[in-house]
Amino acid sequence: MMLNREKKPNQGLWNGVGGKIEEGETPLENVIREVYEETGLKLSDAAFRGMVNWKSDGALYGPMYVYLADYPAAQIVTTPKKVREGILDWKPISWIMAPENRGVTADISKYFRYLFDESATFEHLFIYINGKLIDYVRKTIPEAELEKCSSYGSKQD
């Protein structure tokens, strides 16, 4: 499910759903809460698939923790649907990844393909100058760090 943002940043562009981590909240707890708040879908779990950072005019932002979740089949969300943040709609992966698609954020088309690569989990860095994407760096998250990131919010914590 994608969100066409109504406000900055990325106003008018399709992006994933999510939001800021609240104090005392793990990244996994955050994604479960944000998905529910923005879409009404109640997730029972989600799989950690990486991190995204941005460097814009010298300032570093992030990390954004990226998760994938299965759609809860018993739950129904009719789309398109207007919500506080914009418009929700289901978009096919082929549409999101289409090279000619200028309706998605500049970074999502670069890191999205790696979300489905189960052989590795990546950290992505996007470098912007004056709002223009000028560089993209992808590196594998080391196993020790991956275990720490992927266990956030687990029942063992």
Q: What is the domain count for the chain?
A: 1
Residue 155 lies in a domain: no
**pLDDT tops 50 at residue 156:** no
Lowest mean pLDDT of 32-41, 43-52, 67-76, 83-92, name the range: 67-76
In this prediction, residue 14 carries a pLDDT of 97
**pLDDT tops 60 at residue 47:** yes
pTM score, whole prediction = 0.86
Residue 121 lies in a domain: yes
List, for residues 68-100, the tens digit of each pLDDT value.
Answer: 998 877 888 889 999 999 999 999 999 999 989
Domain range enclosing 81: 2-150
Q: Which CATH number covers residue 27? A: 3.90.79.10
**pLDDT tops 60 at residue 150:** no
Q: How many CB atoms lie within 10 A of CB 149?
A: 19
What Cα–Cα distance (Å) separates residue 41 from each residue in 1, 69, 74, 77, 78?
Answer: 10, 11, 10, 8, 11
